[in-house]
Homo-oligomer: A and B are copies of this chain.
Amino acid sequence: MSEDRTGEVATVRSARRPTVKDVAAAADVSWKTVSNVVNGTAPVRASTRERVQRAIDQLGYRPNAAGRNLRRGRSRLLALAIPEIRLAYFADLAHAVILAAKARGYTVLIDETFADPAHERVVAQGFQVDLLDGLIFSPQALSDRDLVAAGGRLPMVMLGEATLPLDGGEAAADHVVIDNVASAREATEHLIEAGRSRIGFLGVRETETNGTGVLRHTGYAMALQEHGLPAVAFPAPTYSRPGGAAAIGAVIERFTGPDALDALVCANDLLAIGAMHILRGAGLRVPQDVAVIGWDGTEDGNYSNPTLTTVAPDLGALAELAVDLALGRVDGSTASPQVHLVGHRLIVRESTGGALGG
């Protein structure tokens, strides 16, 4: 009850940050008792606990993370490495990962790799300084073998399969992905059922041999082949709106004339939106002249004009699984690395003939 005269629970600010010892002195107990109060490590008499708590509030004490981490050997920090946060899909992903991590008492640190191989290598090694408990990685430039080879002791979970071995070989690290081939088949079947027959694909990249784009293209090609329809693929420089615009701008003549394409499967929503932008500029109507479909289920597509049909991954499940796998390895699990599939669903909207939607 030795409140100071200014009354209330006044926060006292001093130059130096208070340590557990300052609190101990203020509460007239040993610093270990303060630690026990903070961490619930050992039983503390109610009256003592209150006294300590009051001192903590008064001094504005908060445990120092460096000291704690050093002692505990854990930082409760997880990094999420993605190509670029401005891409809506990765923002959605980051959001889901942040939530999943927070639910488990972890904090997320975001690293943008810009698909730079050198940077990805540094990330795989754990950021030059040993700070993290785990890493969730959405690589773009390097394969998972490269990364695991470069990699350090850090528990690492991969997202997307820029890195997935096509040959069915064992994964070098845990992966969490949607079934890209299957979803691409569904998406393409959807267009065929809607009566389209000259269906293009946008989003292969020269530099990739087994990435997401390649797998989606594979599913697309399988569906077309089953129906005896012709396939045609267009490369995209980047998986972005400008990338989609540039790619389609370069081949716009394929959408006019007698053999004009009447549908376009795009490797993601951004490419689709960039493509639609150019199609519109060329006087083509979506979906009347060209049906368009994308991936990722970003909110954009629900408000675009026309609204965009898309394959939406179950990001919540993906993030939770990724975080659990990473933290599992933090706690010493040594289960052999696996590829884990999470769900997806096709959301039909205007761009393939669906309704406006909400």
Residues of A within 8 A of B (CB): 11, 13, 17, 60, 62-70, 75, 77, 84-86, 88, 91-92, 94-95, 98-99, 107-112, 125-131, 149, 152-153, 241-242, 245, 273-274, 276-277, 280-281, 299-300, 302-306, 356, 358
Are the C-beta atoms of A17 and B153 separated by less than 8 Å? yes
A202 to B189, CA, bound (A): 42
Are the C-beta atoms of A66 and B60 separated by less than 8 Å? no
Are the C-beta atoms of A281 and B109 separated by less than 8 Å? no
Q: What residue in chain B is nearest A132 (Cβ atoms)?
A: B65
Are the C-beta atoms of B303 and A245 separated by less than 8 Å? yes
Interfacial chain B residues near A303, Cβ < 8 Å: 241, 245, 273-274, 276-277
Are the C-beta atoms of A64 and B70 separated by less than 8 Å? yes
A13 to B150, CA, bound (A): 11
Are the C-beta atoms of B92 and A129 separated by less than 8 Å? no
8 residue pairs, one from A and one from B, having the closest CB atoms: A65-B131, A66-B69, A66-B70, A305-B305, A91-B91, A62-B130, A109-B109, A64-B130
A335 to B258, CA, bound (A): 70
Q: How many copies does the complex hold?
A: 2
Interfacial chain B residues near A70, Cβ < 8 Å: 64, 66-67, 70
A305 to B241, CA, bound (A): 13
A62 to B152, CA, bound (A): 9
Are the C-beta atoms of B75 and A85 separated by less than 8 Å? no
Interfacial chain B residues near A274, Cβ < 8 Å: 303
Q: What residue in chain B is nearest A16 (Cβ atoms)?
A: B153
A131 to B17, CA, bound (A): 12
B11, B62, B92: the one within 8 Å of A128 (CB): B62
A99 to B110, CA, bound (A): 11
Interfacial chain B residues near A77, Cβ < 8 Å: 109
B65, B88, B128, B358: the one within 8 Å of A88 (CB): B88
Interfacial chain B residues near A62, Cβ < 8 Å: 125-130, 152
Interfacial chain B residues near A130, Cβ < 8 Å: 17, 62-65
Interfacial chain B residues near A306, Cβ < 8 Å: 305
Q: How far is the CB of A66 from chain B (nearest CB, A)?
A: 4
A241 to B300, CA, bound (A): 9
